């Protein structure tokens, strides 16, 4: 199992999850308490009182201050202690660590690592999720599995045919070869599968209204460690984008995952589906939300099983990798580099 | 705790448990998937896809082939991979390990160890379980305890008086001395307790119809590691077998246990009771099935307690062994020899 | 985490918990079975049969003898084995360890350590609990946290304001400075907080009938490792004891805790509240019982949370201690001395 990649931005929550109640979430093993200040900013602190480690998320807000629920140590919105019970003097070191936070594209991003290295401009983008030209459904499912298993899963969509048959999988997905490109400088992995003439899975038939066979493009763009984009284009067979890039005949779905390790053996699996058609049609939104959640839960079930296998059978096991794994193996390599590790990847 | 005895046959299931659905069972820590082929044979494979270790028991059958439920790797009934998604070439090493299997005496036996050492003729016999001259009731209870505790339990029947009082235990069982013989060459342990004049436990009174006191013989024959036979004879006091061995006045019950380690701390406790009387009487079958299951569950409860004691109090503890333990101590010694270990057994 | 202090008396139970049924309780990791003999004495033994470690608490009494529920090994009230199944000879070493036990002040005290060092006269006293001049309510709550967390909790009552606000906490408790004294020779810690003019918490207002503000004294006397006394005095503002010590204008509540480690990560949290007023008023008893149990359960919830924090985040963490922690830090030091350890305590 690879170590975590630190000094990175991770999605900790949707903006809608964080309000005027204390909100606890663990990211890369670090327990963090978030809340929204009276002025509307999201702030995040180490979720442990400096006194006796009591979780501040078990405490209460007093304006923008957190009052520890055990002995009343009180912290301001910068994390500085401003009250200690039974004495006037505040110890100089009484301060909880605050985390750099950016709210963008509907997500609350948090920087895990050295504070001074955090660059808000470097937060990766998923602009569709907050773009009025798109309608988005989204959710988060807790995964009782290490994040690497979700990365593997998402970078090899051939599993759609087997694990998600009847939903998003059709035989063409598993049988169409992929192309994989790695931008080593920027650390981005691209995996593409362009099906010129494919069955239309019910998932898309119902939401686009297309009857008959389709041209189906799946263009994965994975920006390790956290952000995974699947640019999905569906059109009737033979309908391609125009020369200038305009694509009035295509239906576009931007599938976004944020893969955030919670602990070594659990992951926050954020998923969002943004579409550029049927924008006001609530029945399409409901259909996509329910179906994508079903697909995510199929993955969750399978990966939870796999985690138990891996966690309880630790001895040296040689995986057998094939062509479909090219993207996943590249991802492992880049993740290991980000985590400061070397891995040995042995393709078959 | 002794290591497992490998290169041995173990009962993995009743034949009736294995059909055209994939059936998972772990034996000696090895996860195995079983199914019955279209021609009716039982086959068993390592329950892990060679690609990413996904349990094949979570997959589906296509004729006699298993199609992995994650990415569709497909295996034939010999365990050879015959399909890989996204490519035509099948890697030479893509093969799941198959297990030697023998279906006999109502059991599915599996060989755990080196395949080339498996000799189907060496599977130990419990012929009554599939003999029309006997009627059998049987079951399997999962035991959250190491198998050694069940061996100890079954080789010392004095516990019947205390743990199973009111069922199969009477004071005579605990108070009658035993004789123990060990066939070192064949590795078989015999423990006998012959009660010439004993109370008839309700368990037997109801099923045989005997009123009054009985002659009760208990002849244990343990064939380590897996098969335990209790040849039980009941007759009215003084009624003995004839000189030529014929025994028209006796009631014979063959109690069979198969003791199969699941993990280091859990065991499959197979039990069967075959009788040579009241063959067609369903009420006797129902009575024996319910009562023997109750007795097994009393053992399960006690051994689960004992496992928690032993597992959570690991420090050096000196057991105190007495005469009744002679058979159990011999069993430990033989099991340790089978497992390639030496044990030091200190009788009091 | 400090080791346990052995060679000490610990409260194992209330006398009312132990009768003619076998009663199991683990103290300092040692499983003990208690029962009351036919003559009414409480006796305690190691809760493991010498034969195969079966818990004797799963067994039954025959007069004053314990008959093991597995194989019938039988022990007399001194712990000597008097019956072994299947043989007449009793092995010389067949004896379960018996524990020194004293029943006093409503508690069953047990000596954990070397038997010959046990001095019944050294059992610490809480005489109010069995004194007809007081009425007592009491209980025991299981705590899934190490005992040190409960010691910390009870020696710093400033947490009453935050964790028990609305019950026993008021702002004055957290804001009034404490005085701490340590009797190093006798190993006793005293922490006092005298509030001359304080709000009367509902807990006391309802039980004493005092209206308006009060003089409130909290005098803690902790006798490590097990016994914690809180001498609590409430009176209308300005009403003090008379010069000769008589105190007809004061209401006295003796709050007694017995802090008994069960395992390294769990504790028996015995609590009792004895009062010298409204002795016959059942509604006051009911009110105090319900309210104090609520307060104890608030502590239990918080300490269980803290235990999970400490147990799962083991890396070097520097607590920040302030004035209110003086008593708790002294307690840690004395407990470590009793346990034969050195601790380094770094006040801020």
Choose from A161, A164, A306, A313 for mutation: most chain B CBs within 10 A: A306
Smallest Cα distance from B323 to chain C, Å:
7
Smallest Cα distance from C52 to chain B, Å:
6
Span C236-293, pLDDT tens digits: 999 999 999 899 999 999 999 999 999 999 999 999 999 999 999 999 999 999 999 9
Q: In chain B, which ranges are E strands? A: 8-14, 23-27, 30-36, 42-46, 60-62, 65-67, 74-75, 81-83, 98-99, 101-104, 107-112, 135-143, 179-183, 188-198, 214-223, 227-236, 251-263, 266-275
Smallest Cα distance from C77 to chain A, Å:
46
User: Is the Cβ pair B305, C55 closer than 8 Å?
Assistant: yes
Quick one: fold of B128-338? Answer: Naphthalene 1,2-dioxygenase Alpha Subunit; Chain A, domain 1 (3.90.380)
User: Is the Cβ pair C310, A94 closer than 8 Å?
Assistant: no
User: Is the Cβ pair C158, A91 closer than 8 Å?
Assistant: no
Residue A78 DSSP code: T
Interface size between B and C, measured as CB pairs under 8 A:
72
- Domain extents for chain A? 8-122, 127-338
- Against chain C, the chains showing at least 3 CB pairs within 8 Å are A, B
- Kindly state the average pLDDT of the residues C186-196: 93
Contact in structure between C332 and C148 (CB atoms under 8 Å): yes
Q: Which residues contact A239 (CB under 8 A, 6 or more apart)?
A: A215, A249, A250
Span B178-211, pLDDT tens digits: 899 999 889 999 999 999 999 888 778 888 888 8
- Against chain A, the chains showing at least 3 CB pairs within 8 Å are B, C
**pLDDT score recorded for residue B161:** 79
Contact in structure between B157 and B218 (CB atoms under 8 Å): yes
What span, in angstroms and rounded, lies between the C-alpha atoms of A53 and A66? Answer: 14
User: Is the Cβ pair C71, B305 closer than 8 Å?
Assistant: no
**pLDDT score recorded for residue B341:** 62
What span, in angstroms and rounded, lies between the C-alpha atoms of B182 and B177? Answer: 17
Q: Which residues contact A81 (CB under 8 A, 6 or more apart)?
A: A50, A73, A74, A75, A90, A91, A94, A95, A96
**pLDDT score recorded for residue C341:** 62
Residues in A touching C313 (Cβ below 8 Å): 31, 53
**pLDDT score recorded for residue C1:** 47
Contact in structure between B134 and B275 (CB atoms under 8 Å): yes
Interface size between A and B, measured as CB pairs under 8 A:
73
Per-residue exposure over B149-185, b if at least 16 CB sit within 10 Å of its own CB, e if not = bbbbbbbbbbbbbbbbbebbbbebbbbbebebebeee
> Per CB distance under 8 Å, which residues of B are interface residues toward C?
152, 156, 158-159, 161-163, 174-178, 302, 305-306, 309-310, 313, 317, 319-324, 348
DSSP bridge pairs for C258:
C227, C270
Residues in B touching C58 (Cβ below 8 Å): 302, 305
Nearest to A175 among B71, B85, B91 (CB): B85
> Per CB distance under 8 Å, which residues of C are interface residues toward A?
152, 156, 158-159, 161-163, 174-178, 302, 305-306, 309-310, 313, 317, 319-324, 348
**pLDDT score recorded for residue C251:** 95
C174, pLDDT greater than 90: no
What span, in angstroms and rounded, lies between the C-alpha atoms of A98 and A112? Answer: 11
Helix (H) or strand (E) holding C295: helix C282-312
> What confidence tier does B347 reach under pLDDT thresholds 50, 70, 90?
very low
Span A304-344, pLDDT tens digits: 999 999 988 866 778 999 999 999 999 999 999 999 865 45
Can the peptide bond before residue C339 be classed as cis, meaning omega within 30 degrees of 0?
no
Residue stretches of chain A with pLDDT short of 50: 1-2, 343, 345-348
Span B271-283, pLDDT tens digits: 999 999 999 999 9
Residues in B touching C53 (Cβ below 8 Å): 306, 309-310, 313, 317, 319
Interface size between A and C, measured as CB pairs under 8 A:
73
User: Is the Cβ pair C53, B321 closer than 8 Å?
Assistant: no
> What confidence tier does B163 reach under pLDDT thresholds 50, 70, 90?
confident
**pLDDT score recorded for residue C164:** 83
Residue C86 DSSP code: T
B1, pLDDT greater than 60: no
What span, in angstroms and rounded, lies between the C-alpha atoms of C101 and C112? Answer: 10
Which among B56, B55, B51, B62 has a CA at the least distance from the CA of B85? Answer: B51
What span, in angstroms and rounded, lies between the C-alpha atoms of A48 and A70? Answer: 11
User: Is the Cβ pair A152, B52 closer than 8 Å?
Assistant: yes
User: Is the Cβ pair C322, A91 closer than 8 Å?
Assistant: yes
- Kindly state the average pLDDT of the residues C316-337: 91
Nearest to C53 among B163, B306, B321 (CB): B306
Smallest Cα distance from B240 to chain A, Å:
55
Residues in B touching A152 (Cβ below 8 Å): 52
**Which of A202-211, C176-185, C326-335 tops mean pLDDT?**
C326-335
CATH of domain A127-338: 3.90.380.10
The SS3 assignment for A335 reads helix
Smallest Cα distance from C343 to chain B, Å:
27
C171, pLDDT greater than 90: no
Smallest Cα distance from A47 to chain C, Å:
10
User: Is the Cβ pair C93, B163 closer than 8 Å?
Assistant: no
% of residues, chain B, pLDDT over 90: 80
C340, pLDDT greater than 70: yes
Contact in structure between B5 and B111 (CB atoms under 8 Å): no
Contact in structure between B264 and B311 (CB atoms under 8 Å): no
What span, in angstroms and rounded, lies between the C-alpha atoms of B82 and B93? Answer: 11
> What confidence tier does C170 reach under pLDDT thresholds 50, 70, 90?
confident
Helix (H) or strand (E) holding C286: helix C282-312
Nearest residue of A to residue B93, measured between CA atoms: A320
Smallest Cα distance from C96 to chain B, Å:
11
User: Is the Cβ pair A86, C310 closer than 8 Å?
Assistant: no
> What confidence tier does C227 reach under pLDDT thresholds 50, 70, 90?
very high
The dihedral built from the CA positions of residue A231, A232, A237 and A241, taken in this order, carries a sign that is negative
**pLDDT score recorded for residue C121:** 97
Q: How far is CA A97 from CA A31, A33, A117, A331, A339, in A?
A: 11, 11, 15, 31, 23
Nearest to B91 among A161, A162, A322 (CB): A322
Contact in structure between C135 and C279 (CB atoms under 8 Å): yes
> What confidence tier does B314 reach under pLDDT thresholds 50, 70, 90?
low
**pLDDT score recorded for residue B322:** 92
Span A101-153, pLDDT tens digits: 999 999 999 999 999 999 999 999 999 999 999 999 999 999 999 999 999 99
**pLDDT score recorded for residue A348:** 44
Span B28-37, pLDDT tens digits: 999 999 999 9
Contact in structure between B15 and B103 (CB atoms under 8 Å): yes
Nearest residue of C to residue B177, measured between CA atoms: C86
Q: How far is CA A214 from CA A207, A235, A237, A251, C223, in A?
A: 14, 6, 4, 11, 80
Q: Which CATH superfamily is domain B8-122 in?
A: Rieske [2Fe-2S] iron-sulphur domain (2.102.10.10)
Q: Which residues contact C88 (CB under 8 A, 6 or more apart)?
A: none
Nearest residue of C to residue B163, measured between CA atoms: C70
- Taking the CB of residue A283, how many other CB atoms lie within 10 A of it? 10
User: Is the Cβ pair B302, C70 closer than 8 Å?
Assistant: yes
Nearest residue of C to residue B158, measured between CA atoms: C71
The SS3 assignment for C141 reads strand
> What confidence tier does C165 reach under pLDDT thresholds 50, 70, 90?
confident
* Four-CA torsion A15, A16, A22, A23, nearest 10 degrees: -70
Residue C31 DSSP code: E
Contact in structure between A272 and A126 (CB atoms under 8 Å): yes
> What confidence tier does B348 reach under pLDDT thresholds 50, 70, 90?
very low
**pLDDT score recorded for residue A1:** 47
């Amino acid at each position: 199992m690879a170590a975590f990649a630190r000094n990175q931005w991770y999605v900790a929550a949707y903006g809608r999850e964080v309000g005027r109640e204390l909100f606890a979430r663990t990211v890369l093993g670090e327990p963090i308490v978030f809340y929204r200040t009276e002025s509307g900013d999201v702030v995040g602190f180490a979720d442990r009182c400096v006194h006796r480690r009591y979780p501040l998320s078990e405490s209460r807000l007093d304006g923008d201050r957190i009052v520890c629920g055990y002995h009343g140590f009180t912290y301001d919105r910068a994390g500085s202690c401003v009250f200690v019970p039974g004495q006037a003097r505040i110890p100089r070191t009484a301060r909880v660590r605050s985390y750099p936070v950016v709210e963008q594209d509907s997500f609350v991003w948090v920087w895990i690592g050295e504070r001074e290295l955090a660059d808000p401009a470097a937060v990766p983008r998923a602009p569709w999720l907050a773009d009025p030209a798109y309608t988005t459904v989204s959710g988060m499912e807790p995964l009782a599995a290490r994040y690497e298993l979700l990365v593997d899963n998402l970078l090899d969509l051939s599993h759609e045919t087997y694990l998600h048959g009847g939903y998003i999988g059709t035989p063409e997905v598993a049988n169409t070869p992929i192309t994989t490109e790695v931008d080593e400088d920027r650390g981005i992995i691209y995996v593409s599968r362009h099906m010129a003439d494919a069955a239309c899975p019910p998932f898309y038939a119902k939401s686009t209204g297309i009857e008959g066979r389709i041209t189906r493009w799946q263009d994965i763009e994975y920006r390790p460690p956290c952000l995974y984009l699947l640019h999905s284009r569906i059109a009737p067979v033979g309908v391609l984008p125009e020369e200038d890039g305009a694509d009035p005949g295509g239906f576009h779905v931007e599938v976004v995952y944020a893969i955030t390790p919670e602990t070594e053996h659990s992951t926050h699996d954020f998923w969002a589906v943004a579409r550029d058609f049927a924008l006001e049609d609530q029945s399409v939104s409901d259909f996509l939300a329910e179906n994508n959640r079903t697909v995510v839960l199929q993955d969750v079930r399978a990966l939870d099983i796999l985690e138990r296998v891996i966690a309880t059978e630790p001895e040296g096991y040689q995986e057998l990798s094939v062509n479909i794994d090219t993207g996943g193996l590249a991802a492992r390599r880049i993740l290991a580099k980000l985590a400061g590790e070397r891995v040995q990847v042995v393709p078959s």
